[in-house]
Amino acid sequence: MDKRKPPATEEGWYALHDCRSIDWDAWREAPQRVRDRALSEGIDFLEAYEAVEDADEGQTAVYTVMGHKADIMILHLRPTMGDLDAAERHFEQTEFAAFTEREYSYLSVTEASGYTEKSREYFEGEVDDDSGLAQYIQARLHPDLPDDEFVCFYPMSKRRQPEQNWYDTAFEERAAHIKRHGDIGRGYGGDVNQMIAGSIGFDDWEWGITLWSDDMRNIKELLTEMRFDPSSSKYAEFGPFYVGRKFAPADLPAVLAGQRVPTDSGPTAAEPDAGAATASAAEHDGGQGASAHGHAGGDAEGHGNAHPGSAGQGDHPHAEDAPDEDADHPSGSGGSSGGRPDVSADFEEVDDAVQRVGRLGMVEGEDYDAGDYALVFRSSADAEDIVDDVSDLAESFDHYDRHVTTTVRADSGQTHVVSVWTAKDAAETAAGFLTDIDGIEETVGGPLGASDGGDSEDRGHGPAESSQSIRDQLEAEGVYAGKPHGEDVYALVVYSEADAETLDGEVADLRSAFDRYDTHVRTTVYGGDDLAAVASLWETEDAAETASGYLTDLPGVVGRAGEGDGFGTMGMFYTVKPEHREDFVEKFATVGDLLEEMDGHRETSLLANTDDENDMFIASQWDSKDDAMAFFRSDAFSDTVSWGRDVLADRPRHVFLA
């Protein structure tokens, strides 16, 4: 018999699924001080590993496990097996580990393999490292663990029986099975995320499959459909299934107290009162902190770059290529949950917080929104001496939805730590950690409202007009301005020197692939006088960024909105009544003349959908966002919008370009 050809493979991060049960009798009988220490060390361990303090890169997440098989599952992804070895032994050193017993574990490594034609090109070195396919495969080898509520993990192998031996079939037959199986998986893109890890020689089975979804029925339906495909029905064997729900390390006391997690029903349950100060030794940002409102949250949308049926997979089931508040709060050392004591700290409340943060260079609409709450703590330490500690805190605080920014600022030789939250009670909890920073002398806090003028304006530190007020102005003029920063979708625009007809054919293939994902809104070719543009709209930022790798592979691409300096401010999508199309084009020429005279304006182009000339797209480049917003507030823009009510078929859609 001829020797069978195995697929080429590439490996990424090593994975350890560590499933533990709780010794509930021992937990109930333990003194409160012992339980407090166990929870403290357990949270410290989990938060430090989620922040990847132990390695150069990787991911960690913790889940409850339902049923008799285990109580919690810790999933580690790390670049070396040595990292996983250390993680296991580190956990055993904690007081919390003494109340657990390992019920199951699984060792594997993320894997991509070359069954499809495209993936074979990658393994044969025919694909550039910066191509969309190469970046996609690398994302699969080094995945982002999604924030989906549910996880399902199971091991599997391919059958090796006399009449059903996967490894005795020809390469082409295996590739056909993989392709057909992948076609099923692609139908669940956007509903189920997955990670495939190989374990031949690592563990008792051949692959470890991890699936995530916000609805377990999606996983059930996917696996049911795949069971009927011959790749599974004839050739697959499955091990035990572990199903659980994701929770934050800070919710460990609630897990042990039998409470519902995530504890997201009240402020105290969701804020960093369970050891946020222990997390993250990530690189700091030079003392500037996180800006504006990229709030971290329990949102699965941009994560888990592994839709079923994706590129670079191998002999596994999902292969093929494609482009009551108080009751829930575990607070206080005397509570039944064994939670940590309250860590909040006192500070003086002031009514001039806007002016204080203004003097430190922070403005409304850019660094915070009206109605947020700021802590301003002065330290006697040099700014550079506390930047790392503050950055660690900021990284930890980012796990909480209500954190806006925490940063070090200097003014007139004095060092300040500014921490902004969307609610006062969240700031109060954070204050307990901020007071531990070296040299803290003065602690004040206050609401960030609209400035009342006065001396803050005289000093030139008055806040910029808020993004909410800009939205209100646009809304009043009949222009849809989307969510807090304008976007109801994420828009990618690439420009090409190729003619629009050439792009049409290429984009048609991409659009067909993109349409398999629920997060895809539309992808359209627009033609202009000098350049053509491809605009692709997505519901999530991660989906848009993944798509960008494919868009930049289009012929003749010369640039992407937002690249370099300046501000790729907007796409204004207009649907024009057919009888008024010429009027609209003439009006644009008039407005274009006005734009040329505005400070900060670089270029504004009008393009038309190659399939529908009445679908118009305006792309505008500015030196800064403030310059662009000045146009929105101008009389010229207001007059144009008023005029447009008679010529447009629907309301304009304004998006910022991703």
d(CA 84, CA 600): 52
| Contact (CB, 8 A) for 394 and 281 | no
The answer to whether the CB of 154 falls within 8 A of the CB of 332 is no
**Structural contact between residues 553 and 132, judged by C-beta atoms closer than 8 angstroms:** yes
d(CA 631, CA 598): 8
Question: Torsions phi, psi of 50, nearest 5?
Answer: -60, -35
Contact criterion met (CB below 8 Å) for 309 and 399: no
- Retrieve residue 64's tokens: 């409850």
The CA-atom distances, in angstroms, between 372 and each of 55, 363, 415, 576 are 35, 12, 22, 40
Do 257 and 329 meet the contact criterion of CB atoms below 8 Å apart?
no
Q: How far apart are CA 393 and CA 432, in angstroms?
A: 11
**39: which residues sit within 8 A by CB, 6+ positions away?**
96, 252, 253, 256, 274, 338, 339, 340
Q: Where are the beta strands (DSSP E) in 23-148?
A: 59-65, 72-78, 100-113
3-class SS letters over 301-350: CCCCCCCCCECCCCCCCCECCCCCCHHHCCCCCCCCCCCCCCCCCCCEEC
What backbone phi and psi angles, to 5 degrees, belong to 223?
A: -70, -35
Cα(288)–Cα(394) distance, rounded to whole angstroms? Answer: 11
Q: Please, where are the H alpha helices in 462-534?
A: 467-476, 500-514
- The rounded distance, in Å, linking the Cα atoms of 483 and 529 is 32
Distance, in Å, from the CA atom of 17 to the CA atom of 65, rounded to the nearest integer, reads 12
Kindly write down the DSSP assignment for every residue of 21-35, as one continuous string: EE-HHHHHHS-HHHH
Cβ(450)–Cβ(623) under 8 Å?
no
Neighbours of 556 (CB within 10 A): 15
Dist CA 77 CA 83 (whole Å): 9
Active site residues: 154
Give the C-alpha separation, 381 to 77, whole Å.
Answer: 37
Name the nearest CA neighbour of 354 among 459, 452, 443, 465.
452
3-state secondary structure of 161: strand
